[in-house]
Amino acid sequence: MLTVEWLPQHCRRRPGRSWRCQSDRRKLAIACTAGILVALATACDPPSGTIDGTLINDGTSQRAIQYNVQGTNSSLEGYNTNTIDSIVDSLWARNPKPYAISFNEICFPQWLQIWNNYFASRGYIAEAVWAAHSPYADGLPASSIGNAIPGSSHPTRYYSQLNGTCSLFGNVVVELGTSALRNVVYYVNQSSSNIGGNKNEFKGAVCVLSNLFTATACSSHLTADSNKSYAIAQQFEYAVTLNPVVVQGTPMFVMGDFNLVYADQPSNFNNWWYTYFAEADEVTHPRSLKMQTTDGGVAIDYIFRRVPNGYSHRPYIYQTSWSDHHWYEAYL
């Protein structure tokens, strides 16, 4: 009889902070990646509750992942480092490593940690943007202020008023390979939804074209409002942004929190997106029965695929205690 034990704990102390202990899941992830034990694969990333599908770590099934981080959740420090530990552990446990990843509602210090602890040494490219209404930026891309965003081609997109706290949300897309083209788009239709103080998130999309399979990966976080008018307008702008790439007939991965459920989608959404793309949930569910991606039971996170228009396995959707959204994983 095979028994699986969690590896011993280790402790660490960040400068000026208290000691913090956690399971040494990095070693476990390495063991899983090496394919030592099939039984270990199911323990690599134990979810707090599976919504749909199962984690596949067979060493061959490639994946795309949508993370809505909800960066300020349960934070006493301004941002939740447990969120980052959870995401980084999740990424290290994947075998093979993910091909395309989308991050919504992520804070700059969170992205800095994720980049440094995983993506920087793993052969990835990224595009990222932080833009918000404030007295100094006025919701427009900065041209001369700020520090470099890791993995981004736009070093000035990190506003000077962003500090070590999670005061503003950003949008990030990551892909394996090197980049031939990056793109950042700010939507014309913006809402007045307020994150806190005078720091409203400026909505848009980020894309990267990788030399690996000549594929484009994109991410967007659309506005949540009561009548869906802004989300509907922004998804149309998202589609317009992507259309020049779609007509080229090259592979694409379009991800994000659309803040639109199936019933909210206007005819142009259905006619355009579902004509050219496959949605991960379609593997096992009709579109009208798309699986929930939030704690509230709402299905608003999407992973679309173009060329080929299909997926090999049902998606893996599971709860995390560090976000009000579920991690959403599609197998390519």
pLDDT tens, position by position, 188-230: 887 765 444 444 567 888 899 999 889 999 999 998 877 788 8
Per-residue pLDDT tens digits for 49-102: 899 999 999 999 999 999 998 866 534 344 566 788 889 999 999 999 999 999
Per-residue pLDDT tens digits for 273-288: 888 999 999 998 887 7
Using an 8 Å Cβ cutoff, are 319 and 295 in contact?
yes
Sketch the domain layout of the chain as residue ranges.
1-44, 51-331
Which parts of the chain are beta strand (E)? 9-13, 19-23, 49-52, 63-68, 100-106, 124-130, 132-133, 170-176, 179-186, 200-201, 204-210, 216-221, 252-257, 278-279, 301-306, 316-319, 327-331
CATH topology of domain 51-331: Deoxyribonuclease I; Chain A (3.60.10)
* Closest to 67 in 3D by CA, of 174, 181, 224, 200: 174
Structure tokens at 226: 């009561």
* Cross-strand bridge partners of residue 30: none
* Closest to 319 in 3D by CA, of 80, 46, 26: 46
pLDDT reading at 6 higher than 80: no
* Closest to 184 in 3D by CA, of 141, 138, 235: 141
Per-residue pLDDT averaged across 98-127, rounded? 88
Report the share of the chain in percent with pLDDT over 70: 67
Per-residue pLDDT at 188? 83
Per-residue pLDDT at 81? 65
